[in-house]
Amino acid sequence: MRIRLEDVTVKFKDRRNPKNEVIAVNHVNLEVPESKLICLLGPSGCGKSTALYAISGLQELTGGKIYFGDRDVTKLDTQERKIGLVFQNYSLYPHMTVSQNIAFPLKNAKWKRKDIEDRIQEVARIVQISELLERKPAQLSGGQQQRVAIARALAKNPEILLLDEPLSNLDAKLRRSTREEIRRIQKTTGITTIFVTHDQEEAMTISDEIVIMEDGRFVQQGLPQEVYEQPANLFVAGFIGSPTMNFFDGRFEDGAVMVGNYRVAAHSGASGAVTVGVRPESVRLKEDGLRVKVEIVELLGRERVCRLRTETGELLTMITDIDTLVEEDTQISVGFSPGKVYLFEAESGEALARI
């Protein structure tokens, strides 16, 4: 089922100062194509959960419209929207077995006993918990509980699956395997899914498309590779990628972009101050480049992560392959890979060019 948000806004009264308004979701538009998984990604407090609850019907809109397919669902109750919801704390009923947990929404919907039994077997197979059906939640690992929560959400055959930070209670390893699991389940069922997370790596690996949210607004929507390679602004550039992109104050001089005394590349068409961004993997050793001191070198499997400091005191990160020898407490000179340098308008942070 396709999802469309049209100019959706949600405002709250400020808890501390009721005269003030918090605009948690600020005039956002969104298209989620049928059978795709999109991640709503952004820092804490940017409005992700509020946007998701608005789509679920748990949160009333201040303005705008929501469509599932061609149907306007803006005024529909959550129960009428045919969605499956999974929250951060899986909220399973502790006194019920897995099987009873999954059956619960179906009983409420007055399904026949035989149909309920069949459906439990079916969703248990999809999320691979068939052998756990008679256990209580306390007898399951975090990842297994999470799969039960997803099974329960899928039980009523929803047309849309909404997940709010479903992996945040899991340790790193379980997070990885459970997110692969969610992706597999989503692909097998073909269910249109919105997955909320503040973890950019999670979003990059699981999504068909990513929507990046900043301060109530959707600042960019695109394929994972697009938001990585063509960030719309400084915020997206800094939020996506780990270690994060390096930023420098730059300026245009004689038809070139300069960082300190280092001539980054020829570029014309703009003037004045600019922010120069370069990802750690696009920093490399170069004679006559930017002079830096090597402060820390970390060996990370096949690569070296080097923390460098410029003569003007700015920190930057460089990633090199294992064969490039870089030693701590030495002076080196680095350059930026051509075509991999991002220019942003200093004031607004809007992307200007990649050179």
Which residues of the shown chain bind Mg ion in the complex (CB under 5 A)?
A: 49
- Asked if 200 is part of the footprint of ligand ATP (rule: CB under 6 A), the reply reads no
DSSP letter, residue 302: T
> How far apart are CB 193 and ligand ATP at their closest, in Å?
17
Contact status: 198 vs ligand ATP (CB under 6 A): yes
Q: Could you give the angle at the alpha carbon of 190 between the alpha carbons of 189 and 191, nearest 5°?
A: 90
Q: Which of 247, 271, 245, 268 is nearest to 259 (CA)?
A: 247
Interacting partner of 50 out of ligand ATP, Mg ion, none (Cβ under 5 to 8 A depending on kind): ligand ATP
247 C-beta neighbours (distance < 10 Å), count: 17
Q: How far is the CB of 48 from Mg ion (least distance, A)?
A: 5
Q: Does 44 bind ligand ATP (CB under 6 A)?
A: yes
Query: Residue from 4, 6, 9, 22 that binds ligand ATP (CB under 6 A)?
Result: 22
Say which entry of Mg ion, ligand ATP, none residue 282 contacts (CB below 5 to 8 A, set by partner kind): none
Q: Which of 5, 38, 39, 47 binds ligand ATP (CB under 6 A)?
A: 47
DSSP collapsed to 3 states, 138-195: HHCCHHHHHHHHHHHHHHCCCCEEEEECCCCCCCHHHHHHHHHHHHHHHHHHCCEEEE
212 contacts 219 by C-beta, under 8 angstroms:
yes
User: Does 276 engage in binding with ligand ATP (CB under 6 A)?
Assistant: no
- 3-class secondary structure, 333: strand
32 to each of 197, 199, 213, 321, 347, how far by Cα in Å? Answer: 16, 20, 15, 38, 32
Closer Cβ to ligand ATP, 198 or 279, answer by number? 198
Nearest approach in angstroms of CB 52 to ligand ATP is 8
Q: How far apart are CA 102 and CA 93, in angstroms?
A: 10
Binder to ligand ATP among 4, 6, 12, 117 (CB under 6 A)?
12
Instruction: Compare residues 18 and 269 and give the one whose CB is closer to ligand ATP.
Output: 18
Q: Which residue is nearest to Mg ion (CB)?
A: 49
Q: Note the residues at the interface with ligand ATP (CB under 6 A).
A: 12, 15, 22, 24, 42, 44-50, 198
